[in-house]
């Protein structure tokens, strides 16, 4: 079974992101955001390519405004790479698979 991005809410965020054993790429998105819809299939490929190395999760900012404000999310899509529970990389706006892979490779 191929890994897919996991939708998480405020209750799951600590368990799935902060306490995760592996690096976690968090996609802050909203259903009305065009670039967010464009990056969704890219993130599905990233989740499959990095299965076992990086977990990919999605946080809907409309449903989880508290998490978005905690991390200063001002525009979407914003992707944030967490390692050991701390954000180590922030990527704002659409990125293609090659750009995201390159950023992940530098951070892993």
Is 33 labeled as catalytic in the residue annotation?
yes
What is the CATH topology of the domain spanning 6-103?
Glutaredoxin (3.40.30)
**The pair of three-digit structure tokens given for residue 32, joined into one six-digit string:** 């009305």
Check 25, 26, 36, 73 and give the catalytic one. Answer: 36
**The pair of three-digit structure tokens given for residue 40, joined into one six-digit string:** 């969704």
Q: What is the pLDDT of residues 36-85, one digit of tens each?
A: 999 999 999 999 999 999 999 999 999 999 999 999 999 999 999 999 99
Whether residue 95 is predicted with pLDDT greater than 60 in this model: the reply is: yes
pLDDT of 4 reads 87
Per-domain residue ranges of the chain = 6-103
Q: What is the pLDDT of residues 12-22, one digit of tens each?
A: 999 999 999 99
| Beta strands, E only, 1-108 | 6-7, 24-29, 55-60, 78-83, 86-92
Check 6, 30, 33, 103 and give the catalytic one. Answer: 33
**The pair of three-digit structure tokens given for residue 8, joined into one six-digit string:** 């998480």
């Amino acid at each position: 079974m191929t890994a897919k991005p996991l939708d998480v809410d405020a209750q799951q965020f600590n368990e799935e992101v902060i306490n995760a054993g592996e690096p976690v790429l968090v996609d802050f998105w909203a259903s009305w955001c065009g670039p967010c819809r464009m990056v969704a299939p890219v993130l599905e490929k990233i989740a499959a390519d990095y299965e076992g190395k990086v977990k990919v999760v999605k946080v809907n900012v409309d449903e989880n405004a508290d998490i978005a404000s905690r991390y200063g999310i001002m525009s979407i899509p914003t992707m944030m790479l967490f390692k050991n529970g701390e954000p180590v990389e922030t990527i704002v706006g659409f990125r293609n698979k090659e750009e995201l892979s390159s950023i992940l490779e530098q951070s892993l």
